[in-house]
Structure 1
Amino acid sequence: MESNDLRIFRAVALEGSITKAAQMLGYVQSNVTARIKQLEAELKTQLFYRKHGMILTPTGEKLLPYAVQILHLLDEAHKALNDSDKPTGRLAIGANHTVSSLQLPQILSEYHKAYPDVDLSLTTSSTDELIYKILHFQLDGAFVKSSSFIDDNIVEELVYEENLVLISSPETDDIRTACSKPFLMNTIGCPNRVNLEQWLNAEGINNIRYMEFNNLDFIIEGVMADLGVSFVPQSAIQRYETKGLLKSFSIPPQYSTSKTFFIRHQDTLMTSALAKFIETIESKTPYHQIAH
């Protein structure tokens, strides 16, 4: 088995599609198809079912974790041999949808100016998807909105605690009136939404209506347009509230405290590029280092 064949196999397995894998790798589809067939012939076994996409066979399921680990070790060896005090190379960062709109552009801009030789990329997605990418070494680190990670391979490097507030248009008189409107929130599974639902349940507020947005800026704009209300970080709306564009309501602290973590895989090499990125986060935001 050649490492490039394993890289193609991993891409097809994770994407579930020859087309998507070819796009991700920058190959033509026929080349990807041929290399998969070649790998199957070499191993004398079928690795994929080819109906409704590319689905791993039981043998393919067995091979995938080995392929991920082998490719990770090869990539880490390359990083280690080419690492220096001057940050260079690839640095792939992920961020939850709500985090990506909050302070992150400033962090990325500051880092890019300081270390222009680093090939910095950003992926925004749900917390579950980001954790999956961390576990499969597709990201070097990620900002996620979660307070617990059941996988021991996940290392929490930094944590940022903030206060959430209920926001509405300025015309809303009280919190009960606000809660009668549709809630502009992220999709199911968002920790902020979980906190909100726990509070609403405690208050006996039922028949909650949702309009789902996975972008904090769109949520805030929707609230200012009186499309509904939302539950967001106070730091994200202070300038709008000062200008009288929206109103905020406080709720009990057991429901309004939110934590954002910067995480990585425990086996990810701490290159100078990643170390300097963590330093940049600490220097530019209220994130705090977690003792390990």
Structure 2
Amino acid sequence: MNSSDLRVFEAVARTGGIGKAALELRTVQSNVTARVRHLEEELGVRLFERHRRGVTLTSAGKQLLPYALQVGRLLTEAEEMVRRGDEPVGTLALGSLETTAALRLAPVLSAYHRAHPRVDIALRTGTTASLTADVLGRRLEGALVVGPVRHEELVEEKLIEEELVIVAPAAWPTWVPREGGARIVVFRAGCSYRQRLEALLAGKGLVATRLLEFGTLDGILGCVAAGIGITMLPRAVVARSALGADLSIHPLPANKGRTATVFIRRRDALVSAALGAFLSLARAIHAPARRSAKLEREMA
């Protein structure tokens, strides 16, 4: 197995057909077919299911694809590094919680773009669970998630500390849900804030009998402001919302109100120049906030 075979395999997987991959690679179909068959024979597994409309990946093919993508990225970066020195180039695939993207990433991305204009950042938002799976599956070089993650295949670094609060409609006299069960407005399953809110309610003997799942922060805050239910979010996110007059913020006990946003990456993956530059900027920009949060804890 060599890099050329993996490049052909990745092209077939992405385009969904031998012919389309051949056109992209500027070669003949027979050459693509031979490369794929050679790779399958060498690995002893089928990588594609053939059908009239093209090909689809088998389970073995799906396992191989992230590695093929990583090899391609590393070869591109190595070539560019030799030609241009230490300047970060290429595409940097990152993940982030939506709350972190909305609140904390803008200054980092702005500074990064000015410092490294030859890098294209592909940012994917999701829950802690989904982003962790994407990093483990090598679909992302790294992601900002709620920590701690504690996975043997991952390295995690604390970058930001947030204060979590309960957010309720301003018209409610208290955040405790009314009779008829707790109504919570949350991100989809796998969200760490959602899990903490459900645990808090369970500790008070309340059961979340009705859930409203949203994929966006604006959707969640809009529903809370409309009086539909409660949610749990970082205080700084709520404080910046245009719906602030329709929301009430309720602090949590000190031992439950703090959460760390950590950056995770695979332990066995090479830190690219582009990723290394991103982490250096993120550490520098968010260091004052971390020191302030530490001081607040010590004074509490």
Deviations 1:268-292 (A, max 9, x none): 444443233122212333358xxxx
Counterpart residue number, 2:171: 171
Residues 128-143 of structure 1: matches in 2 within 5 Å? Answer: 128-143=129-144
Distance 1:4 1:149, change over 3 A: farther
Contact 1:241 1:248 in 2 (8 A): no
Shift, 1:202, TM fit: 0.8
3-state SS, counterpart of residue 246 of structure 2? coil
User: Which residue of structure 1 aligns with residue 190 of structure 2?
Assistant: 189
> Which residue of structure 1 lines up, in the alignment, with residue 35 of structure 2?
39
- Cα deviation, residue 204, structure 1: 0.2
Change (3 A) 1:113 1:62: closer
Would the alpha carbon gap of residues 241 and 173 (structure 1) be closer, same or farther in structure 2, given more than 3 Å must change?
farther
Provide the residue aligned with 2:110 in structure 1: 109
Distance 2:124 2:205 in 1: 38
Query: Is the Cα contact below 8 Å between 1:168 and 1:178 reproduced in 2?
Result: no
Q: Quote the residue 1:160 is aligned against.
A: 160
TM superposition shift of 1:241: 9.0
Q: Answer whether contact 1:95 1:125 (CA < 8 A) is retained.
A: yes
The question of 1:96 aligning with 2:89 is answered no
AA aligned opposite 2:90: G
Alpha-carbon distance change, 63 to 260 in structure 1, aligned in 2, over 3 angstroms: closer
Task: Quote the Cα distance in structure 2 between the aligned partners of 1:69 and 1:120.
Answer: 16
User: How many angstroms apart in 1 are the aligned matches of 2:167 and 2:252?
Assistant: 11
Give the deviation of 1:133 after TM superposition.
3.3
2:56 to 47, 54, 71: 54
Given the two structures, how large is their TM-score scaled by the length of structure 2?
0.75
Shift of the alpha carbon at 1:177? 3.5
Per mean C-alpha deviation after superposition, the further-off stretch among 130-139 and 258-267 is: 130-139
Q: Quick check: 1:186–1:212 contact (8 Å CA) kept in 2?
A: yes
> d(CA) in 2 for partners of 1:201 and 1:95?
28
Cα drift, residue 30 of structure 1: 7.4
- TM-superposition CA deviations, 1:236-288 (whole Å, max 9, x none): 11244995331011233444332211122234444443233122212333358
Provide Cα deviations, 1:133-190, integer angstroms capped at 9, x if missing partner.
33344333211123123233x2213332211111112111012236955211011221
TM-superposed CA distance for 1:233, in Å, is 0.5
2-side partners of 1:253 and 1:39: how far apart? 60
Counterpart contact for 2:149–2:156, Cα < 8 Å: no
- Greater C-alpha radius of gyration: 2
More displaced 10-residue stretch of structure 1: 82-91 or 108-117: 82-91
- What is the TM-score when the length of structure 1 is the normalising length? 0.76
Matched residues, number: 276
Tell whether the 8 Å contact from 1:87 to 1:272 is kept in structure 2 after alignment. Answer: yes
Question: Equivalents in 1 of 2:244, 2:192: separation in Å?
Answer: 28
**Superposed counterparts of 1:119-268, under 5 Å:** 119-152=120-153, 154-177=154-177, 180=181, 182-240=183-241, 244-268=245-269
Residue ranges of structure 1 left out of the alignment (5+ in a row): 13-17
Between 1 and 2, higher relative CO (CA 8 Å, sep ≥ 6) is seen in: 1
Secondary structure of the 1:175 match is coil
Secondary structure of 2:100's aligned partner: helix
Report the Cα offset of residue 116 of structure 1.
1.9
Task: Give the secondary structure class of the aligned counterpart of 2:215.
Answer: coil
- Report the identity percentage: 30
Question: In 1, distance between residues paired with 2:63 and 2:121?
Answer: 32
Q: Which amino acid aligns with 1:173?
A: P
Find the aligned partners of 1:170 and 1:61 in 2 and give their Cα distance.
48
Q: Determine the structure 2 residue equivalent to 1:28.
A: 20
- Root-mean-square deviation (Å): 3.6
Q: Distance in 1 between matches of 2:230 and 2:127?
A: 21
Distance 1:135 1:75, change over 3 A: farther
Alignment CA distance shift 1:178-1:109 (3 Å): farther
Looking at structure 2, the residues matched to 61 and 196 of structure 1 have their Cα atoms a distance apart, in angstroms, of 35
Mark the CA change 1:175 to 1:61 in structure 2 (over 3 Å): closer, same or farther.
closer
- Runs (5+) with no aligned partner, structure 2: 292-300
